[in-house]
Amino acid sequence: MPSIVDKRRAFRRLHDSGCFVIPNPWDIGTTRYLQHLGFKALATTSLGYAFSQGRADGTVPRDMMLAHIAEIAAAADVPVNADFEGGYAVDPAGVAESVRLCVETGVAGLSIEDSTGDKDRPLYDFDLALARIKAARSAIDKTGADVLLTARTEGFIRGRPDLAETIRRLKAFADAGADCLYAPGIKTPDEITAVVQAVAPKPVNLLKGWAGGLSVDDIAALGVRRISVGGALARAAWGGFIRAARQIALGGSFGGFSDAAPAADLNALFGADQKSGSAP
């Protein structure tokens, strides 16, 4: 299995050129399955993990999330990026401390967002948002670990879809030392191109969490370096579970099992992992 240093170096190289998809598992099983498909990197999903614990997104405590991130990072042979939400603090010093703890989990990268969680004031004021990214950058640098920092601005998914403000924040975050920039919620080719060009030559992550629309090749042609799916795979799994369970509960039908994954296939995959030493 590659070392933490090896995975961090590999993750940074992925951002140098081309375009790659970084899907989001929420437990060890989904981590190993995605790795089995050949994805070169993975990312945690705060939503996917929260739902698996019967919690709403954004309500998982820091220590619980750190333990989850460490588990995923240890289970993967490929680099893992941590969806670290807002850094579990408001003030920059608190963000810095959280980032230090996240680096210790063995991740190759982590993201910090500017969402407050307050519907009336969904984004941190510009100066505070920038100070939080500077604090995250400084915290990573002090550890001496080559962990890639992704800075997110959340306006498009928090009721503030202002492209000019989004670009202003991303450019400032880039200047503050963010390695990768991310504006979840941008969807159109014009929006994507504007963001890519504004922060160039730094790489951009695009969230693709809906069916249809742009393909991987389409997105790559727009200059995007990294494509994540957020909680979409977890929601797809929940969709299958809910449909099958509701058919039993409401109609007495077991038709929802028609698309179930064969147990033999999963046993073969995870059994092979155990024989190869991938299992803890």
Q: What is the mean pLDDT of the chain?
A: 96
**Token pair recorded at residue 32:** 């190993």
C-alpha 76/C-alpha 72 separation (Å) is 6
| Percentage of the chain modeled with pLDDT above 90 | 96
Mean pLDDT of 228-256: 98
- Res 274: pLDDT: 72
Average pLDDT over residues 169-196: 98
pTM of the model: 0.95
**Which runs of consecutive H residues, i.e. helices, occur in 76-125?**
92-103
Q: Is the pLDDT of residue 278 over 60?
A: no
Rounded-to-integer distance, Cα 61 and Cα 64, Å:
5
Q: Average the pLDDT over 90-111 and give the result.
A: 98
What is the arithmetic mean of pLDDT over 20-27? 98
Average pLDDT over residues 249-273: 95
118-143 exposure pattern, b = at least 16 Cβ within 10 A, e = fewer: eeeebbbeeeebbbbbbbbbebbeee
Confidence of residue 280 (pLDDT cuts 50, 70, 90): very low
Write down how long the chain is: 280
Band of the pLDDT at 277, cuts 50, 70, 90?
low
Inter-CA distances, 242 with 47, 48, 56, Å: 17, 15, 17
How far, in whole angstroms, is CA 18 from its chain's centroid? 19
CATH number of 4-230: 3.20.20.60
